[in-house]
Amino acid sequence: MTAAGAQRPPAPKHAIATAVVALLVIIVTAWLATAPRAEVAQTDLVTWFNHPPQLIATLFALINPLLRPIALIMLGILGIIWVLLTAKQASQRWELVRAAIVTLLTAELAAQITKLAANQPRPLAVVSGMDNHGYPIQPRGNAYPSAHTAAAVALVAGLWPWMRWPQRIVGLTVAVLVATNRLYIAAHWPIDILGGAAIGLSAASVTWLIAAEWPVHR
């Protein structure tokens, strides 16, 4: 990726290379997610995240309310506004708006299509003793991949070339917290998180390619 000061999308060859690697990860994780006894192999790890050691549990409990649906949407909007406010030119702001829309729509569409194909149950449905930690909405649909993780990674990675370093650090931190929170509330398996992150990165690569080939001019 380019330096923060340059604020240009990666070259098309880098965007394509990223998309190819992400696609390979999606294929591998989808295969692992649907393999026989996939849930059994991941039960210990998802149980650890659902019932972590006390110090980590306290941290997760404090962060959990900020990652619920409405709060998470507000965080995403605030993040986009923050990046827009630091853009130097009007054309760059329109580039950012387009990037946010393309990445989120692409990630959501890809995640939902993959969910239908994978048809994997969630930990809450198959592992006894799981706690959703007060999550207000019963997770619907299939587990693989994590659409929340896909959207978070897509937004951060899609806007990454135009972000400044403080924004990158905050964005990366939020994306990691979103992913781990999905394990904490037992909505997803670890493989779902990896698949969702790969989908998010592939969506971002589409945005980079569009920005490199068809930039928004003044």
What value does the mean pLDDT take over residues 160-184? 96
Token code pair at residue 55: 């110090």
pLDDT at 88 over 90: no
pTM of this structure = 0.92
pLDDT band for 3, please (50, 70, 90 cuts). very low
The string of DSSP codes covering the chain is: ---TTT--PPPHHHHHHHHHHHHHHHHHHHHHHTSTTHHHHHHHHHHHHHS--HHHHHHHHHHGGGGSHHHHHHHHHHHHHHHHHT-SSHHHHHHHHHHHHHHHHHHHHHHHHHHHHH----HHHHSTT---TT-SS---S--SS-HHHHHHHHHHHHHGGG--HHHHHHHHHHHHHHHHHHHHTTS--HHHHHHHHHHHHHHHHHHHHHHHHSPPP-
Nearest to 199 by CA among 80, 106, 121: 106
Question: For a pLDDT cut of 90, what percent of the chain falls above it?
Answer: 78
Reported as a single tens digit per residue, the pLDDT across 32-75 is 999 999 999 999 999 999 999 999 999 999 999 999 889 999 99
pLDDT band for 120, please (50, 70, 90 cuts). confident
pLDDT at 117 over 80: yes
Cβ atoms of 99 and 158 closer than 8 Å: yes
More confident residue, 82 or 217: 82
Give the pLDDT of residue 218. Answer: 55
pLDDT at 4 over 50: no
pLDDT band for 137, please (50, 70, 90 cuts). low
pLDDT band for 180, please (50, 70, 90 cuts). very high
Average pLDDT, the chain: 92
Cβ atoms of 152 and 180 closer than 8 Å: no
Distances (CA, A) of 82 to 64, 79, 94, 167: 23, 5, 14, 8
Give the pLDDT of residue 101. Answer: 96
Give the pLDDT of residue 15. Answer: 95
Reported as a single tens digit per residue, the pLDDT across 184-209 is 999 999 999 999 999 999 999 999 99
